[in-house]
Each structure stands twice: as C-alpha cells, then as structure tokens.
C-alpha cells in the first residue's frame, strides 16, 4: 500500500528525528533462515513497504570467508543481497531509514562461549558500491538530538548507518540504546508486556532509542528454550496494542518513544499501525493530513 511507503511525508518538518515513532525490525535480514533463527518473513524491501524505517542487520564471515547475515551460529543470505535490498529502498524513496549494522555479537549459550568474525573491509565496500553514501549517508551527528525531519529533507540525506565502533566507511557511533535482558525477554507474555515498559524510565539517550517488543527463547527463563521465534510472536501479538496504549498514557514515555522493534513485522499491518498511531498523539502529523493519516492506519 502506497501510504506505508511514504508515511514520513505526513510528518511535520519540525519533528525531531529522534522523537518520531517509527516501526523497526529485530534481526531484520533473517528471512531465509530456519525456524530456529528466523525472526522476519519479509525481505528488507518488503519490510519498508510495511512502513518499517529501522533495520537491525547482523553480519559475520562464514567458513569460506564470505560475508553473510547471521543469527548466532546460523547463516542466512549474503551480505550483498541484503545491501542490494537496501539499495532498492534508497533508490525508490525519499523516506529516511536507520540501519543498525554490526558483526554478530559474541554470546554464551549455557557453558558454551561463541565468538564471530566480521569483515569490515567488505562491509565498507558494499556500502560504497550499493548505497551511494557520499550523497545519501548522514554522518554529521553533532546535534542529532535536535535534528529535525525538515533538516534531513533539506540535506537530501536518506539514511544513517549506526555502528558503536564506527568501523565501516560512512558509519557513525550514534547513540541508539537497544535494551535487552535475557530473563525479561523470556518472561511469560502478560508479565513481559508490563515489565519492558521499565526501559522508558531506566534508559536515556541523546540520540535514537530502540524499544524491543519481541520475546526471546533462552534456557533458564520462564518461556525457556521450548518455543521458536514465530511461536513467541503469536503469544505476544495480542499484547502489542496494550503496550502501545500504556506508552501513550504516560506523557514522558510518549514524548520519548522513538523506534519500536519487533519480530515478523510483515505478517500484517497491525504492529505498524499501532506504532504509527503514536505520532498522532505526539502532535507531529501535519494538520491538514491528520485525518488522512488516521484513516490509513485504521484510527479514524
């Protein structure tokens, strides 16, 4: 639907980019992985078409040294295929997207410690080859907290690549907390839906803030290791409207809410619609387009 490809055009110029409520995806490029590791069914481009504007992409070198999308020990599509999908988005739209890019982090599963290697040179090559960074990459984050959508529109920038070590060409170490705790994200859904709201009080950021709504299978947690990401998504989906409603009911949380991330974001438009509705409550939708915006997301 065309609205979801250009919903940012409904947002006022004076809206700060770090305060716009936007949908994002967790483990964004895992669509080709098996049930154990798959967190999204849609491609990056399809996610964009569902209104998503933040993509969490994790990479590693496989045994052949090829750069691939990773979810722990599992390998997915080639990094090049992911970047070509991003290229399609950037070539097609004037919307602004956030790309969280990193080597898959070291992890511990029970007594087993796992570490992963990336290939920053190859990642930088893909950025230069696919994303036209000299023209479109936002790299000046000196006043990111006050950067408005109007500023971005005037600059012609279309994306920012966030990496905490700024290890890739055109990437920046821009603040974007992504809070996650294994026990909390393993709670039963009712408890989870209430507990995760604590991050709005506990976490501060001078930049973006990514609030995760997906549950995670982990040994030793209430949900344990017995359910896959799609099973857990079915469990939490009924609670998404309540999570958004609770955010909306707290003026400080409503002002602070920015990126809301989840799994299986292209199953339908429910999660996107709930998240985008917060922009109406924030008062940052253009006055003359409020009615059209509300109707498009089923909130009129």
pLDDT band for position 110 (cuts 50, 70, 90): low
pLDDT tens readout for residues 48-90: 999 999 999 999 998 888 999 999 888 999 999 999 999 999 9
pLDDT confidence bin for 111, thresholds 50/70/90: low
Percent over 70 (pLDDT), the chain: 96
pLDDT confidence tier of residue 292, bands split at 50, 70 and 90: very high
| pLDDT at 118 (0 to 100) | 85
Kindly report the number of other CB atoms within 10 A of residue 80's CB atom.
16
| Cβ count near 49 (within 10 Å) | 18
What's the whole-model pTM score?
0.96
108 or 200: whose pLDDT is higher? Answer: 200
Task: Please give the Cα distance from 204 to 199 (Å, whole number).
Answer: 9
Q: What is the pLDDT of residues 120-165, one digit of tens each?
A: 999 999 999 999 999 999 999 999 999 999 999 999 999 999 999 9
Long-range residue pairs from 231-237, CB within 8 A, at least 24 positions apart, any chain: 232/263, 233/262, 233/263, 233/264, 233/267, 235/189, 236/189, 236/192, 236/193, 237/270, 237/271
Q: What are the structure tokens assigned to 96, written together?
A: 């602004």
Residues 6+ apart with CB under 8 A from 203: 177, 179, 209
Tell me the residue range of the domain where 14 lies.
Answer: 2-296
105 pLDDT more than 90: no
Alpha-carbon span 172 to 97, nearest angstrom: 14
Tally of structural domains, the chain? 1
Angle in degrees, 0-180, between the axes of helices 120-130 and 79-92, rounded to the nearest 10 = 30
**Would you state the structure tokens that stand for residue 291, as one six-digit string?**
């009615």
Confidence at residue 63, expressed as pLDDT on a 0 to 100 scale:
86
How do beta strands 112-114 and 107-109 pair? Answer: antiparallel
How buried is 251 (Cβ within 10 angstroms: 0-12 exposed, 13-18 middle, 19+ buried)? exposed
Q: Binning pLDDT at 50, 70 and 90, where does residue 1 land?
A: low
CA-based diameter of the chain, in Å?
58
Tokens of 134: 């000299």
Q: In this structure, what CATH number is given to the domain that contains residue 246?
A: 3.20.20.190
In three-state secondary structure terms, 116 is coil
Q: Compute the mean pLDDT over every residue in the chain, rounded to the nearest whole number.
A: 95
- The tokens for 120 are 């920053």
Half-sphere exposure of residue 296: CA atoms within 13 angstroms, side-chain side: 22
Confidence band, pLDDT 50/70/90 cuts, at residue 7: very high
């Amino acid at each position: 639907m065309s609205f979801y490809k250009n919903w940012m055009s409904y947002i006022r110029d004076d809206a700060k980019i770090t305060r716009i409520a936007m949908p994002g995806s967790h483990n964004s490029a895992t669509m080709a992985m098996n049930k154990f590791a798959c967190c999204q069914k849609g491609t990056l481009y399809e996610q964009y078409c569902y209104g998503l504007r933040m993509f969490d992409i994790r990479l590693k070198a496989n045994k052949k040294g090829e750069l691939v999308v990773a979810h722990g020990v599992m390998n997915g599509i080639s990094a090049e295929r992911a970047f070509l999908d991003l290229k399609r988005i950037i070539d097609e739209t004037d919307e602004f997207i956030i790309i969280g890019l990193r080597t898959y982090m070291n992890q511990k599963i029970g007594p087993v410690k796992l570490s992963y290697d990336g290939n920053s040179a190859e990642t930088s090559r893909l950025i230069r080859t696919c994303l036209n960074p000299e023209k479109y990459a936002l790299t000046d984050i000196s006043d990111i907290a006050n950067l408005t959508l109007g500023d971005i529109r005037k600059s012609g920038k279309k994306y920012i690549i966030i990496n905490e070590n700024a290890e890739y060409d055109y990437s920046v170490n821009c603040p974007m907390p992504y809070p996650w705790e294994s026990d909390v994200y393993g709670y039963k859904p009712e408890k989870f839906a209430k507990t995760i709201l604590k991050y709005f009080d506990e976490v501060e950021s001078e930049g973006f803030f990514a609030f995760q709504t997906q549950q995670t299978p982990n040994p030793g947690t209430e949900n344990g290791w017995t359910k896959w990401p799609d099973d857990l998504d079915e469990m939490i989906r009924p609670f998404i409207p309540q999570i958004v409603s609770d955010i909306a009911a707290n003026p400080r949380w409503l002002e602070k809410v920015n990126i809301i991330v989840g799994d299986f974001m292209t199953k339908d438009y429910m999660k996107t619609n709930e998240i985008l509705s917060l922009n109406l409550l924030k008062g940052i939708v253009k006055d003359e387009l409020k009615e059209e915006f509300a109707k498009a997301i089923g909130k009129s």
